[in-house]
Amino acid sequence: MSKNELSPLNPSAAGTWLGVMGGGQLGRMFAHAAQQMGFKVAVLEPAFDCPAGHAADQLHSADYTDVEALTKLASQCAAVTTEFENVSAKSLAFLAESTFVAPSASCVSIAQDRMAEKRFFIECAITSGVFPASHKEINSAADIDAVPDDLLPGILKTVRMGYDGKGQVRVKTRAELHAAYGGMDGVACVLEKMLPLAYEISVLAARGADGKAVVYPIAENVHRDGILFTTTVPGPNIGKKSAEKAQAATLAVIEQMGYVGVLCIEFFVLTDGSLVVNEMAPRPHNSGHYTIDACVTSQFAQQARAMARLPLGDVRQHSAAAMLNILGDIWFAGDSDEAREPAWDQVLALPGANLHLYGKDTARRARKMGHITFVAATVAEAQANLRQACAILGITV
């Protein structure tokens, strides 16, 4: 690549393209933000009918490892990103031979492997002081027999390819651990100690190619069945010192990786107030969707800025926000298999309601279909409107 890669891109220049690996809703929202700035967006995704493909200026329907498609994307785009962490790091490295890739393959590869991620967090803890939970890698029945007693009860997770609660099993005893590992088809796993959790938070940050970094306000998250249910910002429970520590830890990680782009790190806040780092996502994140409606610069516009080597945007939050994830379950009443349209008119009559649907034609239970962000003058008001929306949509709070 030429030294040109570090020069800012001109979004108004004809044919200035940004590329996205992945066709999901994150790619869709990125396309909207980048197009608003004047860029054209190309998406590489195996599925022809995909949320990002509906929004992009061009869709390359091909496998993420297809050399011909990757070559086309690299020659077309002045910069390429990924919308999810399970895109092949080798494909990102291939793209980087001829175009600017942010985040880099090396950064994404850390997030693709839970053990590599934990080792990296431990390295960063020298600066941040925030460690991951106690854990042990599990590659055989013998490893299970060697697990210290104090790691149980725990959560057994696959080392690779886990997301939204997939590839995770809670275990209380060594016998349950053996059974759970037996059901993982022999893949590498990690056992994490179960912790006395008070609540969960996430920190969204961005870093430019020039090394300048910004960090968004703390988001407090509630999960159900491993899937994000709600996000409230600013987090109502976290104290100032803990918030600053989590933000500083995130900036330490993003700096040590030499990361370029948007990064989200999830933390556990324990009942004694201490922080434990959980995992990171090398991309915009579900818990950062509130930034579209409640911040000066959304996480997706921030990603476009970082890719284009433009100055990072203002992360100031101008309104309190409560975000509700919308799953396909609400299209179905009770145990019925017959889908019906939710009462969006009633939801949108609520103050501060911002509906974002992802263009997925078929609703399925547990499938992410969209989100609603409620903005208000106070967190309490935003949360109250979210609860009203849940009542309308038949969601138990």
Domains 134-193 and 197-393 equal at CATH topology level = no
- Tell me the C-alpha distance between 262 and 301, whole Å: 10
Contact (CB, 8 A) for 138 and 113: no
User: Torsion over CA of 189, 253, 208 and 323, rounded to 10 degrees?
Assistant: 70
pLDDT given for residue 3 in this prediction = 38
pLDDT bucket at 121, cuts 50 / 70 / 90: very high
Q: What is the pLDDT of residue 375?
A: 98
Is 118 a residue whose pLDDT tops 70?
Answer: yes
- Residue 166 confidence (pLDDT): 67
pLDDT of 12 reads: 79
Segment (H or E) for 76: helix 67-76
pLDDT at 174 over 90: yes
Assigned CATH class of 134-193:
alpha beta
SS3 (DSSP) at 364: coil
Tens digits of residue pLDDT in 338-373: 889 999 999 999 999 999 999 998 999 999 999 999
- Please check the confidence at residue 43 and state whether its pLDDT lies above 70: yes
Q: How far is Cα 120 from Cα 256, in angstroms, rounded to an integer?
A: 9
Is the Cβ–Cβ distance between 323 and 290 less than 8 Å? yes
Residues 6+ apart with CB under 8 A from 178: 141, 144
Q: What is the pLDDT of residue 4?
A: 44
Annotated binding site for ATP: 114, 157, 162-168, 192-195, 200, 223, 278-279
The token pair that represents 172 in the structure block: 């209380």
| pLDDT tier for residue 267 given thresholds of 50, 70 and 90 | very high
- pLDDT-derived band at 164 (thresholds 50, 70, 90) equals low
Binding residues: 114, 157, 162-168, 192-195, 200, 223, 278-279
Residues 6+ away with beta carbon under 8 Å from 255 = 207, 211, 213
Q: What integer best gives the mean pLDDT of the chain?
A: 94
Q: Is the pLDDT of residue 280 over 60?
A: yes
Q: What is the pLDDT at residue 161?
A: 74
> What is the rounded distance in angstroms from the CA atom of residue 332 to the CA atom of residue 337?
6
Q: Is residue 86 very low, low, confident or very high in pLDDT (cuts 50, 70, 90)?
A: confident
- Asked if residue 309 has pLDDT above 70, the reply is yes
pLDDT 10s digits, 191-208: 999 999 999 999 999 999
Query: Which parts of 186-260 are beta strand (E)?
Result: 189-193, 197-207, 213-215, 219-224, 227-233
Would you state the pLDDT for residue 2? 41
What is the identity of the amino acid at 307? Answer: M
How is domain 197-393 classified at the CATH fold level?
D-amino Acid Aminotransferase; Chain A, domain 1 (3.30.470)
- Quick check: 83 pLDDT over 70? yes
Residue 283 reports pLDDT greater than 50: yes
| Sign of CA pseudo-dihedral 82, 84, 88, 90 | positive
- For residue 165, pLDDT over 70 is answered with no
Enumerate the H helices of 135-173 as residue ranges: 141-145
| pLDDT on residue 169 | 92
Quick one: pLDDT at residue 263? 98
Residue 345, pLDDT score: 98
| The CATH number of the domain covering residues in 3-101 | 3.40.50.20
Residues 87 and 108: their CA atoms lie apart, in Å, by 9
Domain boundaries, given as residue ranges, for the chain: 3-101, 134-193, 197-393
